[in-house]
Every structure is written in C-alpha cells, then in structure tokens.
Amino acid sequence: MDFSFTHLWASMGLFAKGIVIVMLLMSLASLLVMFERIVVYMRSGSESVRFAEQMAKVLAGGDLNAAAATKLDKNVGHLGRTINAGLNAFRTAPSNKDVAQESIARALERQAAREVQTFKRGLGVLATVGSTAPFIGLLGTTMGIVNSFQQMASSGSGGLGTVSAGISEALITTAFGLLVAIPAVMAFNFLQGWVDSRSVDLSESSNEFLDVVSKHYAK
C-alpha cells in the first residue's frame, strides 16, 4: 500500500476531498489575516511611537493650546488618533471646566474603543478556524471510517488491505484539521494579547492626557 499524499488523495472519496479543500481555504484565510494584522499592528505601533515623541515635548509644559495647534503627520497611529480626539474635544469644549473635562474624557474613551475594535478586525476568522478545523477534520475521519466498513462489507473480508484506504483517508483529514487549527489558535492568542496590551496603553495614555487637562483648567 502506497501511503504517499498523491496516492492518499487519489484514494479519497469526493466528500473527503471536499473536506481537505475546505480546510486548505480556511488555512489560507487564517494566514492572510495573520500577516495582515501583524503588518497593521507593527505600522500602528511605530507611528504611535513617533507621535508620542513629538507630543511629549509639547505637553511637557502642560500647554494644551500649543498641543492643539501643533501640526502632526497624517499617520499618527492608534495613540495619535486617540489623543487627537481629546485635543479636538478640547478645541470645541465649552467654557465650563467640569463639562469640558467630561466631554474630553468621553471623546478619548470613544476613540480608544474604536481603535481597539479596529485592532480586533479579522481575529474572529482566526478564532473560527481554530475552533472549527478539528471538527471538520473529525467529520472527514468519520466518513473515512464509514467508507472502511463499507469496503469491508462489500469485500466480505476484514483484512488490513481492505480497510487501509478508508483508514488512511480518515487519518489524513484529522491531520489536516490539526495542522490548520494549531497555527490559527496560536496566532489568535498572540494577536489578542497584543490588542489587550494596546488597550491598556490607550487607557493609560488617556488618563495621562486627562491629568494634563485637569492641570490646565486648574490654573
């Protein structure tokens, strides 16, 4: 019995081939999401670092008016978009300092939530692939075992040669399911951890900005 992939593919039924094709498509989707998210995260992180370096110099003296008038690069990352939302709220804030601080805080909170939600885009694909691929492989395994019993019944014998093709079909779909699911789960956990870390960073940066706002209105 030849157990090469070519022979296993040739011996598979249409259902098992369909299972393998579906899992290949799921694997491609998870890889695309994985690399796209990594690129987006790295770019946003580097842009945020540049923004922080520029804005730190302006806010060091607590001059919000100068910060609001500062011209920055177009690409400022997740941190820049969040702080800019606060600065925009400061520009249009009413004269009442309590209302103004509350308005700025809400603007920061809304933008931070948007940034986190944007970072989570596509992670659902990884979670879905990681959780469903083993079960899809198990479905192919079940059908492979069924084919083995059918071959055994049609031949009237129970030798290994009779059922080896069905067993091979079952094992290969199980292996495909695991090979697709494991990288997807690992990528999801890594990327979700990155998003959680950036969520904490945005919360801390927003609170620091609000401290500057409080000092501004306390003058």
Sequence letter at residue 175:
A
193: Cα separation from own chain's centroid? 9
Mean pLDDT of 3-21: 74
Owner of token pair 């075992």: 145
- The predicted-structure confidence for 94-117, as pLDDT tens digits, reads as follows 878 888 899 999 999 999 999 999
What pLDDT digit, counting tens, does each position of 45-98 carry? 999 999 888 888 887 777 788 887 777 778 889 999 999 999 999 888 887 888
| Strand ranges for the chain from DSSP E | none
- Model confidence at 215, pLDDT cuts 50, 70, 90, reads confident
**Which contacts of 48-53 are long-range, i.e. CB under 8 A and separated by 24 or more positions?**
48/76, 48/77, 48/78, 48/79, 48/80, 49/77, 50/76, 50/77, 51/76, 51/77, 51/79, 51/80, 51/83, 52/79, 52/205
Which pLDDT band, with edges at 50, 70 and 90, does 15 fall under?
confident
The answer to whether 216 touches 66, Cβ cutoff 8 Å, is no
- Write a three-state SS string for 93-105: CCCCHHHHHHHHH
Please report, as a single letter, which amino acid is at residue 4: S
pLDDT value at residue 116: 95
Answer whether 111's CB lies under 8 Å from 85's CB: yes
Task: Identify the pLDDT of residue 77.
Answer: 92
Residue-wise pLDDT for 187-203, tens only, equals 999 999 999 999 999 99
pTM: 0.82
φ/ψ bin of 180: left (φ > 0), alpha (ψ from -120 to 50), beta (otherwise): alpha
Give mean pLDDT, residues 184-189. 96
Percent of the chain having pLDDT more than 90? 48
Of 141 and 135, more confident: 135
Please name the residues in contact with 144: beta carbons below 8 A apart, sequence gap of 6 or more: 16, 166, 167, 168, 169, 170, 171, 173
Closest to 181 (Cα-Cα) out of 140, 132, 130: 130
Please give the mean pLDDT across all residues of the chain: 85
